[in-house]
Structure 1
């Protein structure tokens, strides 16, 4: 938080707080109800300029690939950029693994995955402000 405040001022600090809260909410809601009715708060004004802050918070909070993808999808949606979450799995013969990423990302793990699900950006997330 202090790092975000030093580097980007109050807008970066607000973005860091939002990202941490969004990860916690995603984690809690996924455990309780899955992705169907998941709701995440809108990023604060000025968050669009602080992508690195969001990514740093996602790393430091230990967010898993699905939580990261959901928070990033919400962040992009506030900028009117629709990004689809893709979920893939490996073949059971190679040891079952699942992974989530945003469509269009360069992700080394996705090459070994078979796509099983796509989750488009919820329309309510596109451009919604707090």
Structure 2
């Protein structure tokens, strides 16, 4: 469990810098990450249902909250995909794996984002945003 005093200070900083809309976005991001984790475990990609994020906030704030909540690359990519879809931007989640013999590694990212691992991996799946999100 994270230090409660440290967490409270972080929430105060977010509220000072971004106001209540920023705080709502951080809360949405952290809850969405937890929800995606559970949904993936229960039913895979087809089970992922994320409610729309609140209005306001920035991409950087969503990414920072995702780093703090400890989601893996697939969870982060799906939450970011939903964030972009709220703004009517269709971003594709890409999943890649390492070639045989190099030890197995899998990674997910949003198409178009810079990612240092993408050159080492072979794409196995491209998942556009669900039409209901756009």
Q: Shorter chain as normaliser: what TM range?
A: over 0.9
Q: Which runs of 4+ in 1 moved over 6 A?
A: none
**What is the alpha-carbon root mean square deviation over aligned residues?**
0.8
- Give deviations 1:69-120, integer Å, cap 9, x for gaps: 0000000000000000000000121111000000111100111000000101
Length-normalised TM-score, structure 1: 0.92
Question: For 1:99, what is the secondary structure of its paired residue?
Answer: strand
- State the alpha-carbon separation in 2 of the partners of residues 43 and 113 from structure 1: 31
- Give the gaps of 5 or more residues in structure 2: 1-10
The equivalent position to 1:20 in structure 2, one of 30, 33, 44, is: 30
Give the number of the structure whose alpha-carbon radius of gyration is greater: 2
- 2:37 is the alignment partner of 1:4: no
Output aligned runs, 1:55-66, within 5 Å: 55-66=63-74
Higher relative contact order (CA 8 A, sep 6+): 1
Q: Number of matched residues?
A: 124
The TM-score, its normalising length taken from structure 2, stands at 0.90
Find 1:124's aligned residue among 113, 116, 132.
132
